[in-house]
Amino acid sequence: MPSQRLFIFWRFAGIRLFLFLMHKLTFAFCLFVSLAHSAETRTAKNREVFFSPAGGCTEAVVNALEKAKASVLVQAYSFTSAPIAKALVDAKRRGVNVQVVLDKTQKTDKYSSADFLRNSGVPTFIDSQHAVAHNKVMVIDGQTVITGSFNFTKAAEAKNAENLLVIQDVEMAKKYAANWSEHLKHSTAYQGHADKGQ
């Protein structure tokens, strides 16, 4: 009977349409889950944290400096880490614009990392305008920010309890770079350990 056949036809068409839609919905759901997961993975890679002692802080700083292509702005309180000083000088030698602002305590009568940096041609400045210039910051290529309690020192790596964040964030890098520039304005060029008394 034509009407019964028509009924069966529409019933099958309905089932097929239902299955088709379910298939598409499943696909869309899987795609959404997959994209959400990859976004989460990207975010995770954009922020890394390290802890000392012996938690890879120095290595993380050196690795980031080895990737630097255009600029490295440094603010440091104490600076005695030979591997980090060497990585800064290496960056400078391959044409990266490296500049360092240090706390006044880094003007010592001994040959220090500040002397090594200055003598290696890295513009090095002393910020004497604060009780303590306590920032420990690097801004690399206007997009990577390295900061935390971790001083760029041997003791911070080997003996202290410290943390270090490596953050990929252009907006945050701009803020840190602006703050770095504010401190540079009232800092003076480091003249070597002979200017201890100044």
Active site residues: 134, 136, 141
Instruction: Compare residues 130 and 196 and give the one whose CB is closer to Zn ion.
Output: 130
List beta partners, residue 80.
none
Q: Give yes or no for a contact between 103 and 78, defined as CB atoms under 8 angstroms apart.
A: yes
Nearer to Zn ion, 115 or 127 (CB): 127
**Nearer CB in complex with Zn ion: 76/87:** 76
Tell me the closest approach of the beta carbon of residue 178 to Zn ion, in angstroms. Answer: 13
* Cβ-proximal residue to Zn ion, closest one: 183
Q: Least distance to Zn ion from the beta carbon of 182, Å? A: 7
Residues found near Zn ion in the complex (CB under 5 A): 127, 129, 183
Query: Around Cβ 152, how many Cβ atoms within 10 Å?
Result: 27
Nearest distance from residue 29's CB to Zn ion, in Å? 53
Q: Smaller CB distance to Zn ion: residue 38 or 188?
A: 188
Beta strands in 26-136 (DSSP E): 47-52, 71-76, 97-103, 124-127
**Minimum distance, C-beta of residue 31 to Zn ion, in the bound complex (Å):** 50
Q: Yes or no: say if 88 and 58 are a contact pair by the CB < 8 Å rule.
A: no
Q: Dihedral (C-alpha) 89, 187, 103, 84: value to the nearest 10 degrees?
A: -10
Q: Whole-angstrom Cα distance, residue 56 to residue 151?
A: 13
| Measured CA distances, 122 to 20, 80, 99, 129, 182 (Å) | 66, 15, 6, 21, 19
